[in-house]
Structure 1
């Protein structure tokens, strides 16, 4: 979740900007998941209004089993889940840079960093360098986000998700409110941008 914003004349605009950044974050996850061949169950964002403050967050849920045993024989899965986690922060970072928003990513990306750190520690226990893995994941995610076709797809998904949020979320109402974009709409935008489902897929038991 993002840091809470006090609601006022400035804060209403800030809250909408932060919601847009949240949409880009979740769109980054969703598009890279599509390219990795990971099935999507839901793509959503929320606002949580408590009095005069508002916070934003989101979640991309995967279809099927959500956990995997991490061992040396699962090295491709290290890459798969690490890249999936890094894609959201990478997309949000680029969006914030392009529109001039502060790079306030600490709370918003905490869960993603924890996933990558957890995989890195598992790799470290096998005698491999966890820090080399982490550098590789973050640099690979950034290169993907910098690709024009990938960024076009992320833009399309983010704005579609933002449109859903503007329809379904009322910032004048207290409480947590969610808005969702159907996975089929994510897939359609990816195809329009020239991306293929599973084009980054890796063999889960390869070496």
Structure 2
């Protein structure tokens, strides 16, 4: 889902801004905190605490592709005449460390970090948190599995055509067809 892209990217933005771009002593305004940290905190709270949203390692590719696309946009932005209303003295960059027209080597190093180092690290940490959240339910929940509905020929259980819909207390939903149960 969208969480698997938005949450890691927002945390990467937060890390890079406060670690590389923010100048100590500059005033910290509400929009600055929300754009470079607040949104990341809200996404993590929603995805991990409220929703227990699952992440899969194969979703990492979307985060990497997005980061590469964004870095491509920073190059296009630097080479075009699009003004940046958030920057006072020079407006040909989005972030100081990605000022392609001034210091290409720094921009290349930061871009490599943004595209190939931070995304896997942040995503694996999020994936591990996601795994731990999946196993927080009480083991007794499995024993509390309830049969919700029976559907069979003429409403009776009769052999391999019988289907039972099951729902566990942990939110797992399964269907029993005859003797086999598959949880989804």
Compute the TM-score of the two structures, normalised by the length of structure 2. Answer: 0.28
Bigger radius of gyration among the two: 2
Compute the TM-score of the two structures, normalised by the length of structure 1. Answer: 0.26
Q: Which one has more relative contact order, counting CA pairs under 8 Å at least 6 apart?
A: 1
